Structure 1
Amino acid sequence: MYYIQIGAYRSSPSLDAAVSRLRDTFPVTVDTVQAGSGPVYRLFVGPLGRDETGVALLRVRSLGFKEAFLKN
């Protein structure tokens, strides 16, 4: 399975806004990691099949998430 990382957020309001923009179109997943200055929320689209990744990445970027990238 493949995932597209949308971004990493330090605040819940920023994360919530991004999730709201994506959740009607894609499955979204949030992973919380602990950093030195507190939690960081990593937002992913997925899981996706290999054949879905190219179109999904283009669509995510067209929604304004220009820094999104594929993780496998």
Structure 2
Amino acid sequence: MNSVYDVQQLLKKFGTIVYIGERMLDLEIMESELKELYFHHFISIEELQLGLAILRNEMKKEEKKREG
């Protein structure tokens, strides 16, 4: 995984499509869904960590956009 799109594709494999319309909310829900997949042993710890890192990095970018 290298991008938010890749995280979305991973979630899609498990039947989860996230689109609220507000970027930050979408990212937060994707984060929650990743954690649930890991909790239920559908994804590995590596996939969880990488996905969370990608999402959190994107959240930081969004916060900077809002500030600037």
Larger relative contact order (CA 8 Å, sep ≥ 6): 1
Same fold? TM cut 0.5: no
More helix by share: 2
Q: TM-score with structure 1 length normalisation?
A: 0.29
